[in-house]
Amino acid sequence: MAAHFRFFLTSFAQTNVIFLDTDILALYRDTSYFFKLTTNWELAFAVSNYPEEYKRVNCGVMLVHRNGYKSMIELSQYILHRGLLVLKKPESMIPDGLGRKIFNDQILVLEFMNKFGNFRVEKATKINFKSGVLHINPCLRINYGYNSTRRSFNILLLNRYEWNGNPVRLLPFTKFSHYKGARKKYMLEHYAKLRKLKANFVSFRGNPYAGFWCTRDTTNDPRCNFSPIKFKQKCLRT
């Protein structure tokens, strides 16, 4: 992963970039506003509310601001370097809580954040969907490097419900749906449905086969009622 990101960013990307895993579908949501209104950040990752650390950060959706490609290269270099060291010493891999030791880039991204950030990355606050709330997306200040080469940049910690959603519970503000593991079998069906609905799609609830697809034409249906939820980004414009 790290080597490919570095090559892409140094060779092509001088603009805003969103990296997506191959098991993710975009839900016809506008994302351009996000880069324009919140400019004091370089990288953004979705943080989950799972208690396990190896699930804390999900790299299925990664945002790189046009002013953050150097920061992404530095993060990628760190992951590549640490990853090679871990592979040489498998016993240093992080246990997953089920008696297994696993290795993936997400663990090293979290390690980077906790090692060089101004606070430890905790699990995301779970959203209360029964009442309208204001959710704060924290801003992590990174101080990375060695001696005279140290530099600082901001990483915005996004809520997964908005940016890296569960396919069986897609909300009006969810921007991307992540078909991890066994959910991959629903991906083609959902793709066909989303392609047909396009901007008319509002949300999706329940079992993938028995769920109810909310559209702009069905928003008066009780199954499509959602309390308004707003997200405030702590990395504000300077």
Domain of 28, CATH number, reads 3.90.550
- DSSP H or E run through 152: strand 151-159
Domain that holds residue 37: 2-233
- 8 A C-beta contact, residue 204 and residue 213: yes
Output the CA–CA distances (angstroms, integers) from residue 92 to 82, 83, 102, 214, in the order listed. 11, 11, 10, 46
Residue 224 covered by a domain: yes
- What is the domain count for the chain? 1
C-alpha 156: how far from chain center: 10
Q: Report pLDDT digits (tens) over 163-206.
A: 999 998 899 999 999 998 889 999 999 999 999 999 999 999 88
Q: What is the pLDDT along the chain (238 residues), one digit of tens a residue?
A: 556 666 666 666 678 999 999 999 999 999 999 998 777 999 999 999 888 887 899 999 999 998 898 899 899 888 888 878 777 776 666 665 566 666 678 888 999 999 999 999 999 888 877 666 888 999 999 998 776 678 899 999 999 999 999 998 899 999 999 998 889 999 999 999 999 999 999 999 888 777 889 999 988 888 888 888 889 999 875 4
Residue 238 covered by a domain: no
